[in-house]
Structure 1
């Protein structure tokens, strides 16, 4: 049993970034449109079709079951275990979300007497699936951020080395030019100090 927040005084901390509705007691931190956002369990599952079986909520992310053991939804990327779909299997399979316009993941009804929510096994599986997807998404985002940071560091080091080479070449040209000028001036001075034929 979990106490739900008073709906008359919702907090920004419990507002989903996708559906903008206040959902009970938990939001998942997950990358969404390039930012880290807090998203409710239902929206995490809605936005990651193909990452889990929408019937048993077994999470497989990028490792779906073999084709012979799963059914693909006709309308979305959702993948269901054949063993989870009631027999007989339809020739044009639709996942629960596509087959029922009123379907929603993590559908809970607070107790009218004490405003609590009972988490049964079915809801617990959905909660765990959403948390697993959120964790993997954050982990993948962190890995990509490290890779991008390493690339930027290498690019910066390469640019620094190239800039140093340019400065070295420029310094060499300046030094070489100054040397030629001094020699020229000394030669000119030496020539002017020699007696001319006119003095004789």
Structure 2
């Protein structure tokens, strides 16, 4: 067998960062959000974050609801979309909304929510640069809040699960310690019974003495067995 020599100064290459949306596969290098959706961690573009969490914000003013979806939508002055079940403010839909009401996202389903203008559209010197205007900034902020909320909920759920497992582990350790103490007690009892004919109750330490054995050793052993039994009952 030939021995392969590897350089000592070799470094591990970092994992590649996804540059495409995990839902629509659109290449987006700068505005991908870390989202937990349906139990999976994904990197999604701004449009997909909003489309997949349609009940988390107002489609008109882009205000993110907390909690999501908002409880008692009708009593809180919200209008539900007939098609996608999103919630819009009464002040956003106007005085006389259509019945049934359709939100702007359903009226124009092919229009992207998040789009950047080019430099020539806003009069910049670099015509190919992309500009984040006020509308795009509001859309980006709403998607970022929703993505952060999903990760926060996932972290809380993971913490609750970790605490539950820690309690189960502590209870299991306690039962194992009790079992070991009981085995040690049974072993010591059987040895004394074979050696000197001591009589102990079957469920715990006793105070019976045999003949021909040092009373001090018996007292120390019985005290230790009683201490183990007391610790098992108090823990």
Normalising by structure 1, we get a TM-score of 0.75
Name 2:61's counterpart in structure 1: 56
Name 1:157's counterpart in structure 2: 170
Higher relative contact order (CA 8 A, sep 6+): 1
Which residues of 2 match residues 116-155 of structure 1 at below 5 A?
Answer: 116-155=129-168
Pair 1:14 & 2:19 matched: yes
Q: CA deviation at 1:87?
A: 4.7
Name 1:193's counterpart in structure 2: none
Provide the C-alpha distance between the structure 2 equivalents of 1:169 and 1:77, rounded to a whole number of angstroms.
62
Name 1:196's counterpart in structure 2: none
What are the Cα deviations for residues 28-77 of structure 1, in whole angstroms up to 9, with x where unaligned? 11223434322111111111121110111011131638524111122333
Provide the C-alpha distance between the structure 2 equivalents of 1:82 and 1:107, rounded to a whole number of angstroms.
26
Pair 1:28 & 2:36 matched: no
Which one of 90, 102, 110 corresponds to residue 98 of structure 2?
90
Name 1:77's counterpart in structure 2: 85
What are the Cα deviations for residues 100-152 of structure 1, in whole angstroms up to 9, with x where unaligned? 33233213455688432222222111101011111222222222222221221
Normalising by structure 2, we get a TM-score of 0.65
Name 2:45's counterpart in structure 1: 40
**3-state SS in 1 of match to 2:112:** coil
- The 1:89/1:165 distance shift into structure 2, 3 A limit, reads same
